[in-house]
Amino acid sequence: MGLLIALSCFALAQGLAEESPTNRVLLLDGKTGYMAVPDSASLHSLSNAMTLELRFRAASFYESDRAVNSLLRKNVKAGAENFFLRFRIINRKPMVEITPGTEIGIVRAPFDFKPGTWYHLAATFDGTNIQVFVDGVAIKSDEGAGSMRIDDSELVIGRGDPEYSSGEYFDGAVDEIRIWAVARSPGEIQAGMNTRMTGKERGLIAYWNFDDGTATDQSGHGNRGVLKEAAQIVDSARLASVSSEK
């Protein structure tokens, strides 16, 4: 009987640990902090389809008209962008901007983002169309055709062109960053946005959830991030996290 009680207590303790209210996120200060990811073979698998998605909570946005706060960008040199996901300030409001390559096209999507609020943001490119989703709902769709061009530049998270908008830094927290070499369907985005990935999902080529306290790529493709300057990984309330995929 004593052994059974001990085992039950151990199982209960394990269950409580699994349901910990603590989650970890990447915290960026909007001034110097960002995460850099070296170029890799998996990123070169991007050719005619892509999905970028993450959760974010902005502490603030730039106020100047046409200023940029960058979330994801490969190649920060002006005019040489492989792809990006960012905010452009228009009339003091942040608008989502996404491109799978400037030769393919840039889509701009308005949404009333509130600082201090967590959102799930996703953008897809299927070879002929670019779509933007906020919390699983499509807010903009536009044509965009062509093949993606991927060079040997690093992927940068939380910073953009160093010569524009004071570096295009993002001020806030990001979590559950995922890059896919496929265009996820609306149903797949909705089903997965509140679910932690296993890392083995079809088309998933890079994935950071920061829950182990590091910027390790959970997809297994070795895209380990390097924290720069003031960037740090911190505990966050459960609101920012997601449940484990069953």
Q: What is the pLDDT of residue 161?
A: 97
The yes-or-no verdict on residue 228 having pLDDT over 70 is yes
The yes-or-no verdict on residue 142 having pLDDT over 80 is yes
**Region 53-77: what's the mean pLDDT?**
97
The yes-or-no verdict on residue 244 having pLDDT over 70 is no
**Region 217-245: what's the mean pLDDT?**
86
The yes-or-no verdict on residue 163 having pLDDT over 70 is yes
The yes-or-no verdict on residue 200 having pLDDT over 60 is yes
Q: What is the pLDDT of residue 9?
A: 40
Confidence at 94, pLDDT banded by 50, 70, 90:
very high
Report the predicted TM-score, pTM, of the whole model to 2 decimal places.
Answer: 0.89
**Region 104-128: what's the mean pLDDT?**
97
The yes-or-no verdict on residue 56 having pLDDT over 50 is yes
The yes-or-no verdict on residue 58 having pLDDT over 50 is yes
Where is pLDDT greater, at 90 or 14? 90
Query: Mind spelling out the 3-state secondary structure of the chain?
Result: CHHHHHHHHHHHHHHHHHCCCCEEEEEEECCCCEEEECCCCCHHHCCCCEEEEEEEEEEECCCCCCCEEEEEEECCCCCCCCEEEEEEEECCEEEEEEECCCCCCCEEEECCCCCCCEEEEEEEECCCEEEEEECCEEEEEEECCCCCCCCCCCEEECCCCCCCHHHCCCEEEEEEEEEECCCCCHHHHHHHCCEECCCCCCCEEEEECCCCCCCCCCCCCCCCCEEECCCEEEEECHHHCCEECC
**Region 66-79: what's the mean pLDDT?**
97
5-51 pLDDT tens trace? 343 343 333 333 343 446 999 999 999 999 999 999 999 999 999 99
- Average pLDDT value for the chain: 90
**Region 134-152: what's the mean pLDDT?**
97
**Region 47-58: what's the mean pLDDT?**
97
Q: What is the pLDDT of residue 8?
A: 38
Confidence at 237, pLDDT banded by 50, 70, 90:
confident
Lowest mean pLDDT among 17-21, 196-200, 235-239: 17-21
The residue to which tokens 């052994």 are assigned: 3
Q: What is the pLDDT of residue 147?
A: 93
